Structure 1
Amino acid sequence: MTNVPQRFIGRLSLESAVGTSLSDTRIRLLEQIGELGSISQAAKAVPLSYKAAWDAVDAMNNMAPQPLVVRVTGGRQGGGTQLTDYGRSIVAMYRALEIEYQLALDRLSARLGEVGAADVQEFQSLMHRLSMKTSARNQFSGPITGLRDGGVDYEVRLRLDAQSELIAVITKSSAENLGLAIGKEVFAFIKSSSVLLSTDRELQLTARNQLWGEIVEIQAGSVNDQVSLLLPSGRSVTSVVTHGSCETLGLAVGQQACALFKASSVILAVYD
């Protein structure tokens, strides 16, 4: 009996500075935002929950060198969301790569009979192990602009954009294992529970990272609230604070606030 080569149907996922996972779902979300001008309508069309859609947009904007999606105000509908020129170029590039990717998979399928089944299974297992997901709500990327050897630890400066940078403190062994060097692209992860908020510009704190932005969303909970700040660059930072603290600070959408977190709360990662 002749073995019929198996055909692989690919779902392209790009791991780069554009994002931790620029997938077909996220691209379809961008396409729908460009067509509908509304993230709520785009989320329904994909389909995704409204929260999942905003989380995806925030992740892409934070990882990209410039925003893919921006909020717009005014007009008959009172505002909405809009795909930027950069966002449209990313969508077009992804779709072009997708075509080439499927052609490559078809060529691989044609040669599958030359490869043992055990080898294919090992390859699939490796792909699963290499897939990385993180529970950290805040994800950024950028080049290293500063490294300072503190003896037992390293201070790492990461440039997000012209206005903002992050500072991380990691052990010396971790810095060596990551192969950190000036100019190297790295990823930074900060849990939302590690991010504090302040509205007082005169307040003096020891937190090395202080990012000012505008509150664009508050998701109220029975105990904790999730507060999202939009930075001037288009990136966002999310904090989880108690409902009582949110009320005490008088936090409201449209208000300026500062996201504060310690350098030791920043986790760094690289792709070799």
Structure 2
Amino acid sequence: MSTSSQPPRLLGELKLCTEVGPFLGDTRIRLLEAIDRLGSLSQAAKSLPLSYRAAWDALDDMNNLAESPLVIRTTGGKQGGGTQLTPYGRQIVALFRAMEAEYQQTLARLQQALPKPDPAGGPAEVRDLRRLIRRLSLKSSARNQFIGTVVAMRTGPVDFEVSLELDDRQQIHSVITRESAESMGLQLGGEVYALIKSHSVLLVTEAGLRLSPRNQLWGEITRIHNGPVNSEVVLALPGGKHLCAVITRGSVDQLGLTEGMAACGAFKASAVLLCSHD
């Protein structure tokens, strides 16, 4: 008895991206849902499965790019601490799932409107769409990614200094060329992405010490990941954002860095790369 095979379904994965790369996707949403269900980052990571460090990094990225923290971390107490979604985080998860449902319905309607597949390689519209999506997927190697509002601009003969407000307590300053500023069309009140490589961040623990870097962000050390030569140190900043620095293991020992210690992440204005909307 012969059977006719059903045509393949047009399916897609919804992913919300910023100018500097992915912000929310299925894996991150499932991580948030698992945290909300289990109240523990380590248990949530295991349930996906996802490495603990990858889960930490994902939470840091989401909190840095979101207008409000999506998760909060608690320590101590009768329950021994844990990780919880904020009300804003729950709203984001619900919104994403609603958008995802609409997205799949749109794909189903699109498939009905497409011409019959070409045995030689499929509909040209689908191939063009796939190429376009790949071109629009912009990723950055910078470990630190922030969104800020342009609150000040100072022009010079060659350089152009831009001040970004992350929130009412923190600012980041960047120095770029006048040509770059003009091509980006920077304006006061505009939203700009700031990228800082972790190797450009210096760590200081002594308050009141005079430093030459223009940017100095104080926070609390929440994680130290030691490698054979270098160590990755993550600072929790006010407002739920995080700053990552990569320094030598010798520097970690010399400074006596430990989790829970206050520290300052300092980096030059010239080390801040700016990205803006089209």
TM-score by length of 1: 0.94
Q: For 1:262, which of 252, 255, 268 is the aligned residue?
A: 268
- Deviations for 1:127-163, whole angstroms, at most 9, x for unmatched residues? 1111011111111112111111122121111111111
Considering only aligned residues, what root-mean-square deviation do their CA atoms show, in Å?
Answer: 2.1
C-alpha separation in 2, matches of 1:186 and 1:104: 31
Contact 2:20–2:140 (CA<8 Å) still a contact in 1? no
Contact 1:18–1:65 (CA<8 Å) still a contact in 2? no
C-alpha separation in 1, matches of 2:237 and 2:101: 35
The 5 A counterparts of 1:47-66 are 47-66=49-68
C-alpha separation in 2, matches of 1:109 and 1:270: 34
C-alpha separation in 2, matches of 1:159 and 1:146: 9
TM-score by length of 2: 0.92
Contact 2:21–2:140 (CA<8 Å) still a contact in 1? no
Indicate whether 1:122 and 2:128 are aligned: yes
Does the C-alpha gap of structure 1 residues 43 and 49 become closer, same or farther in structure 2, counting only changes over 3 Å? Answer: same
Q: What one-letter code is carried by the residue in structure 2 that aligns with 1:251?
A: L
Contact 1:207–1:263 (CA<8 Å) still a contact in 2? yes
* SS state at 1:244 partner: helix
Q: For 1:21, which of 1, 20, 23 is the aligned residue?
A: 23
Q: 1:231 is matched with which residue?
A: 237
C-alpha separation in 1, matches of 2:77 and 2:150: 41
C-alpha separation in 2, matches of 1:9 and 1:253: 44
Identity in percent: 56
Q: 1:149 is matched with which residue?
A: 155
User: What is the CA distance between 1:65 and its match in structure 2?
Assistant: 1.1
Unmatched 5+ stretches in structure 1: none
The number of equivalent residue pairs is 271
User: What is the CA distance between 1:77 and its match in structure 2?
Assistant: 3.7
C-alpha separation in 1, matches of 2:112 and 2:23: 28
Q: 2:181 is matched with which residue?
A: 175
* SS state at 1:113 partner: coil
Unmatched 5+ stretches in structure 2: 1-5
Q: For 1:42, which of 28, 41, 44 is the aligned residue?
A: 44
Q: What one-letter code is carried by the residue in structure 1 that aligns with 2:208?
A: E
Q: 1:253 is matched with which residue?
A: 259
Q: What one-letter code is carried by the residue in structure 2 that aligns with 1:128?
A: R
* SS state at 1:216 partner: strand
Q: What one-letter code is carried by the residue in structure 2 that aligns with 1:231?
A: L
